[in-house]
Amino acid sequence: MRAIRLGPILRYDTVVDKVWHGFALMVTSDNGSDYSTVPTIEVEWDATFGAIDTDFAEKLNITDHRHDNSDLVHSFTRKGERIHTYDSRDGSQAFWRFKLEVPLAERGQEIFYSVNNGPEHSFWVPAVNEQMNWVGHSCNGFSSGVDPKPFNGPGKKADITDEADQWAHA
């Protein structure tokens, strides 16, 4: 069990050789966390969007499976890498990084992920022939003296989605 303070949040890095590269970051409070096992992230997406080259799948440890007789999905699991420890007034905080590599397909894909079988989150990657559009937010609410509540939950995402819909229909 981990006391999650922030995340997981995503960072897009690049697209190389038709593969989307990014990272997920999670911050945990050391007080109340059990680190006997390293946190892991499970990533999966619809396998009907295209086959993955066998050599590439083996290199990234991508496997195929079904959930409850549903469609076939591609998936992989990655262990977190503890990249930093921050000593704050609230105690020490551990920063965990997870490397994500997702092959692009003929259509845009929704990618689902969860840390340690926790709540499921998702993001989209473009089709192999589409441009990548993304939005960033500069404050994560992790600074001392900042109330993190306005930065949590679906509020910001809903605001951005609503505004994007307005642009698309203008």
99 and 159, same domain (yes or no)? no
122 and 140, same domain (yes or no)? no
42 and 117, same domain (yes or no)? yes
What lies within 8 Å, CB to CB, of 17 at 6+ separation is: none
For residues 22 and 9, is the Cβ–Cβ distance under 8 A?
no
Q: How confident is the model at residue 143 (pLDDT cuts 50, 70, 90)?
A: low
**For residue 84, what is the domain's CATH number?**
2.60.40
With a cut of 80, say whether residue 145 has pLDDT above it: no
122 and 62, same domain (yes or no)? yes
Give mean pLDDT, residues 2-15. 85
For residues 30 and 4, is the Cβ–Cβ distance under 8 A?
no
Query: Is beta strand 19-29 parallel, antiparallel or unpaired with respect to 81-88?
Result: unpaired
26 and 72, same domain (yes or no)? yes
Q: How confident is the model at residue 170 (pLDDT cuts 50, 70, 90)?
A: low
With a cut of 50, say whether residue 11 has pLDDT above it: yes
d(CA 32, CA 34): 7
- Is this model's pTM higher than 0.85 or not? no
Give mean pLDDT, residues 6-18. 89
123 and 143, same domain (yes or no)? no
122 and 162, same domain (yes or no)? no
Q: How confident is the model at residue 1 (pLDDT cuts 50, 70, 90)?
A: very low
86 and 165, same domain (yes or no)? no
143 and 97, same domain (yes or no)? no
What is the signed CA dihedral for 111, 38, 6, 26, rounded to 10 degrees?
A: -50
Quote the number of domains for the chain.
2
For residues 26 and 7, is the Cβ–Cβ distance under 8 A?
yes
Which pLDDT belongs to residue 74? Answer: 86
19 and 50, same domain (yes or no)? yes
Domain of residue 65, residue span: 3-129
125 and 150, same domain (yes or no)? no
115 and 61, same domain (yes or no)? yes
% of the chain at pLDDT higher than 90: 26
Give mean pLDDT, residues 99-105. 91
